[in-house]
Amino acid sequence: MSAAARIVLVLVLVAFPLIGGDFYINLASQIFIAALFATSLNLLVGYGGLVSLGHAAWIGLAAYTSAWLYLHLGLRHWITAPLALVNTTLIAGLFGWIALRATGLGFLMITLALSQVLWGTAYRWAAVTNGDNGLSGLTRPAPFGISLDGPAAFYYFSLTVTIVAVWMMARLVNSPFGAALRGSRDESRRMSALGHNVWLVRWLTFVYSGFWGAVAGLLFVYYHKYIHPTALSLTSSAEVLLGVIAGGAGTIAGPIVGAAIVLILKNYVSAYLDRWNMLLGAVFVVIVIFMPDGIVPGIRRWSARLRKT
């Protein structure tokens, strides 16, 4: 993206709450949260070559931890947020230690199984999670005394967090560590022969991915002021994985575009179509046929062809 295009994009994002209605401002905030969540999964799928079907564990675990500490212990948000991040990151480290005993399909199935353990716990441990009723009665934080209850205020808050998060993840994948991660994805045996600890590189990436998934979880619970076990479900993990693949795994912009498409179809088109998931499937099939690498790589390839003609 050229410098001029970046400036235009920034101006559009900053000015959007001034011209958009509350519905579209709230929809944009949800897109930012989904984009952050998808980008965190892309660290594993796109750059690590590790397909996970349990990434929803981090968004749900962080949200439940923050909500429970706020409701049952009466702690303030500036305390619950770091505690939720630390708890989720530690559990991500444990789950990564277990899941990375395998790769490929084995890794996918282990992550799915571990996330289903948390999903089942959220449903059954009613004394803590309130079961199928979820946890409600939550509020949004007020950083530096600024209320986030208004749509525009939360829009700018979620936009800021998402930009910082995506920038930090981009710095990681473009660093020497990111090169080692991509090398572990493409030639794990050769990387081991060169002296790299492939398992450690993957485990650190798993933990880092879980941390940013937890950040998305905090934004998620702040936006909805409510958390339900469905946030930990297989459907949630599948939707974010679909967004990463559709947008273009292994790119920075791909997961953002893919997450936006999935969320718009889920929240906007579903108001007009009862079977919106069939349309989502059809869109995904079209993307696979015409842009097998994803939307962003596909557009780049088509643009390169047009420039040559």
Percent residues over pLDDT 70 in the chain: 98
Q: Which two tokens stand for residue 137?
A: 């009665």
CATH number at residue 51: 1.10.3470
> Quick one: pLDDT at residue 223?
96
User: Domain for residue 178, yes or no?
Assistant: yes
Give the whole-angstrom CA distance, residue 293 versus residue 249: 8
User: Domain for residue 5, yes or no?
Assistant: no
* pTM, to two decimals: 0.93
Name which residue leads in pLDDT, 242 or 274. Answer: 242
User: Domain for residue 150, yes or no?
Assistant: yes
User: Domain for residue 12, yes or no?
Assistant: no
User: Domain for residue 286, yes or no?
Assistant: yes
- Note down the domain range covering 93: 22-308
User: Domain for residue 30, yes or no?
Assistant: yes
Three-state secondary structure call for residue 227: strand
Percent residues over pLDDT 90 in the chain: 68
> At residue 277, does pLDDT exceed 70?
yes
Give the whole-angstrom CA distance, residue 74 versus residue 80: 9
Residue type present at position 197: N
User: Domain for residue 10, yes or no?
Assistant: no
Determine how many CB atoms are found less than 10 A away from the CB of residue 150. Answer: 14
Q: What is the mean pLDDT of residues 136-151?
A: 91
The total domain count for the chain is 1
User: Domain for residue 112, yes or no?
Assistant: yes
Which of 101, 55, 89, 303 has its CA nearest to residue 199? 101
Which of 218, 193, 246 has its CA nearest to residue 46? 246
Give the whole-angstrom CA distance, residue 135 versus residue 231: 12
Mean pLDDT score of the chain, rounded to an integer? 91
> Quick one: pLDDT at residue 309?
67
Q: Which two tokens stand for residue 283?
A: 């869109």
